[in-house]
Structure 1
């Protein structure tokens, strides 16, 4: 299970899906943010994407080819970097003999054990992991079961940019993200695990809906599928995971204007959704937001 967990965390620490509702006839999840003649491309991504979803919509390729610099949320270490992988696992694990099961009620513990048993895993194997890490493992096992696992849009363009020797920059450090994930579900382990277990029952259907909506730029559906339920069921996670980070990223995106570089910013699609989303914050600052539609321009 340790090797499995290293692979999961190196590929994707989070799936997020929801977008600002801007256009019913959208082509896909790429926007052009403009101020005068200057522009920045912003793409909403899925951090895990099955191989059958390739190739990506033409708008992603267009924005990538137009850009000198690719900006991602954070730099993920190479899966072969055992020291970095161990650091991530240690950050998302309890210390001093603490365990997850001792923080759960008997009812939720039993529910978790039942679900893990369906995957041939025991709680003892994961008991040292914090709630977020357990949720990632559960989600990934379900996606593997449904044959939906795969490298995400972010990883695809990170590899492309490295191969093409394009500049890569990051909105956050990996250390910041790990600390954020470490705190998720802290002091509310029961609620966090139970919420994830409830979602897992219909996760394949939900994930399929997210993929379709992301690919077509159906922002209303993405908002209804992900953002609204999160705000209702776990507002604290919404505030930490999305709202606060979008506000932190706003000045960084604004600083990309007025230089001689063309940037493509790639963030989890949930960061472009609902109240306090990154695109809405930019619009409030006077930037023009246009959903990219290559077919419509031909």
Structure 2
């Protein structure tokens, strides 16, 4: 999951945004990648996206979902905090957040790296703005969101199983294995969801990563590992030879 763009000072690191709570260990290659870098590039600032989770007016989410889906989802939703009330969320926000409510997780690569970068005054930037993230997610058809929520509610244990299997593949640096696990997830195969979350963003990121290829500074680009595998992945869009970096003792 750790690659050098040949002939440049740019490296790619495929991350896990969340770890299962039972396996919070950060692999050595992540720390090595951070120590190597003089500057960091992340997907987006998650904190800047949070204000966009809620609608500004418009129809309540309750009226956009089938009654049974709304009833079951509302029964499990937090009654207080940034995610409440459920009725005020955008449909895609409910779909993105709902699986995490079924998981036992701890923070993954990016939050830890960002804290360490701040502590060391190591510069970093983002590949996309919050508005661009939201625009991509807004493109997901409501029908796909409803189908995704129905599939989730049919098996609330699936998100945790999938996360644990994906992390196992990630720790083994098995990109194909990681993609195969994700491809078995029902929500991953719904029309519009994969395109919005992976394909469209990979396409938009590629020229921004290419812009960094001439930099003399050691630059680490950190993106979710699924962006580096499967059809239309970021490496394909870059059209630049990459070399896998082995574990350093």
TM-score, length of structure 1 as denominator length: 0.72
Shift of 1:117: 3.2
Q: What are the Cα deviations for residues 186-242 of structure 1, in whole angstroms up to 9, with x where unaligned?
A: 355432422443463422211110111112112222111114657973231222221
Q: Residue 288 of structure 1 is aligned with which of 226, 241, 248?
A: 241
Paired position in structure 1 for 2:158: 202
- Contact persistence 1:131–1:193 (CA under 8 A): no
CA distance in 1, matches of 2:120, 2:96: 31
1:59 aligns with 2:19: no
Paired position in structure 1 for 2:100: 140
Paired position in structure 2 for 1:31: 3
CA distance in 1, matches of 2:115, 2:203: 28
Relative to structure 1, the CA distance from residue 190 to residue 47 in structure 2 (aligned partners, 3 Å threshold; closer, same or farther) is: same
Runs of 4+ in 1 over 6 A off after TM superposition: none
- Contact persistence 1:32–1:290 (CA under 8 A): yes
Shift of 1:93: 2.7
Shift of 1:153: 0.5
Instruction: Please give the secondary structure, in 2, of the residue aligned with 1:294.
Output: coil
Instruction: Please give the secondary structure, in 1, of the residue aligned with 2:142.
Output: coil
Shift of 1:136: 3.4
CA distance in 2, matches of 1:256, 1:59: 22
Instruction: Please give the secondary structure, in 1, of the residue aligned with 2:229.
Output: coil
Relative to structure 1, the CA distance from residue 250 to residue 230 in structure 2 (aligned partners, 3 Å threshold; closer, same or farther) is: farther
Shift of 1:255: 1.7
Q: How many residues align?
A: 246
Paired position in structure 2 for 1:233: 189
Q: Residue 13 of structure 2 is aligned with which of 35, 38, 43?
A: 43
Paired position in structure 2 for 1:73: 43
CA distance in 2, matches of 1:183, 1:136: 14
- Contact persistence 1:131–1:192 (CA under 8 A): no
Instruction: Please give the secondary structure, in 1, of the residue aligned with 2:19.
Output: coil
CA distance in 2, matches of 1:96, 1:165: 40
Instruction: Please give the secondary structure, in 1, of the residue aligned with 2:178.
Output: helix
- More displaced 10-residue stretch of structure 1: 229-238 or 151-160: 229-238
Instruction: Please give the secondary structure, in 1, of the residue aligned with 2:192.
Output: helix
CA distance in 1, matches of 2:186, 2:2: 23
Relative to structure 1, the CA distance from residue 280 to residue 134 in structure 2 (aligned partners, 3 Å threshold; closer, same or farther) is: same
Paired position in structure 2 for 1:4: none
- More displaced 10-residue stretch of structure 1: 230-239 or 251-260: 230-239
Relative to structure 1, the CA distance from residue 257 to residue 137 in structure 2 (aligned partners, 3 Å threshold; closer, same or farther) is: closer
CA distance in 1, matches of 2:185, 2:177: 12
Equivalence map 1:78-89=2 (5 Å): 88-89=50-51
Paired position in structure 2 for 1:126: 86
CA distance in 1, matches of 2:95, 2:63: 17
1:211 aligns with 2:181: no
The two structures, once aligned, show a CA RMSD in angstroms of 2.8
Where does structure 1 lack aligned partners over 5 or more consecutive residues?
A: 1-28, 78-83
CA distance in 2, matches of 1:50, 1:204: 8
- More displaced 10-residue stretch of structure 1: 93-102 or 226-235: 226-235
TM-score, length of structure 2 as denominator length: 0.85
Relative to structure 1, the CA distance from residue 244 to residue 110 in structure 2 (aligned partners, 3 Å threshold; closer, same or farther) is: same
